Amino acid sequence: MDREPMPLWAELLQGRNRGMLVLSRQRDESIKIGDDIEITVVDIRGEKVRLGITAPPHVPVHRKEVYEAIKRENEAAALAKGQPPQNVESLANKKKHNDTPQG
């Protein structure tokens, strides 16, 4: 006896499909990612949505276009030094640790 296929939303919840989980939120509503990250809809104006993101200091948060620009710059700098490129997250974490004041 064949089982019916699982609905896509159920697959997403069980991690069987690495697609995008799409959630609807209204102003002042939030979503949680794990225990430490919260994304809140701060404002909606026309087609623009303003999001507030609360995350621990060790988690880099960037707009996608900024993330990609940082990644390109880091890869170019690594190649100029003859080093293999690192991922952006490890470089961002290294920068945060180096920028932390020693008290």
Mean pLDDT of 35-52: 96
CA distance 60 to 15: 24
The whole-number pLDDT of residue 20 equals 78
* Average pLDDT score, the chain: 80
68: left (phi over 0), alpha (psi -120 to 50) or beta: alpha
Mean pLDDT of 58-72: 94
Q: How confident is the model at residue 17 (pLDDT cuts 50, 70, 90)?
A: low
Sequence-separated (6 or more) residues with CB below 8 Å from residue 42: 27, 28, 50, 51, 52
Q: What percent of the chain has pLDDT over 90?
A: 49
Q: Return the minimum-mean-pLDDT range out of 27-36, 83-92, 93-102.
A: 93-102
Write the burial class of residue 99 (CB in 10 Å: 0-12 exposed, 13-18 middle, 19+ buried). Answer: exposed
